[in-house]
Amino acid sequence: MSGLVRKVVTVVDEVLLELGRPVATPVRRVAAAAVIRNPWAGRGFVADLQPAVEEVAPELGQLLTGKLIETLGGVDRIEAFGKAAVVGLDGEIEHGGALIHTPYFGNVLREMTEGTSIIVFNDDRLPAGEPLTVPLWHKTAAATRTHYQTVQIRIPDAPRADEIVVIAGASSGPRPNARIGDRRTDPVVRLADLENAAR
């Protein structure tokens, strides 16, 4: 991966008040991003992306997950995770997907954070400076609604047209003052019952 990474950016969002009320659990949300040269840039349509994926993705996974762990203060402080990629305008969305949607990145992020859930994601092709919202959910219980949240990242000079921004995100806890219940305690709701109740 030598020579591919131009810069690394870490964004921390710490929520202390919600509508003026202290949050029950102060939450830190982090996005760690690597701005890299697109390994397929200038090569036209590349049928087999796998060789570059195997070379680049594991190192990116280790680099970015390490930043999450360092910023949040340890693996035990990570409760939710997510991933994302932003491809510059001269690349394909598939280039970003190749780097984050294979085990070479995802399994590294999962293992290093001691997670078991499938990792929620976002990817897009955008000009430099556009924000991207990185979704997060619980690292071991993806259906836990309290941890459905996002962290946003914007890098003013990235991605350049021939670059990709690869992002790992994490949170130290649930949404501020989460209180909408959970799938384990939800009533059974069917469309027919809702239509009958409206009559």
- Confidence check: pLDDT of 66 > 90: yes
Q: How far is 40 from 91, CA to CA, in rounded Å? A: 8
Which tokens is 160 given?
């350049």
Helices 103-112, 93-100: crossing angle, 10 deg rounding:
40
Mean pLDDT (the chain, rounded): 94
Q: How far is 32 from 135, CA to CA, in rounded Å? A: 13
* Stretch among 24-28, 116-120, 122-126, 158-162 having the lowest mean pLDDT: 24-28
- Tell me, what's the pLDDT at 1? 60
- Tell me, what's the pLDDT at 2? 59
pLDDT bucket at 182, cuts 50 / 70 / 90: confident
> Torsion angle, CA of 76/107/90/44, rounded to 10 degrees?
170
Q: Among positive and negative, which fits the CA dihedral 166, 46, 88, 136?
A: negative
Chain segment 70-100, per-residue pLDDT in tens: 999 999 999 999 999 999 999 999 999 999 9
Q: Are 165 and 159 a contacting pair, CB within 8 Å? A: yes
Q: How far is 123 from 167, CA to CA, in rounded Å? A: 10
What is the percent of the chain with per-residue pLDDT over 70, rounded to a whole number?
98
Mean pLDDT of 107-120: 98
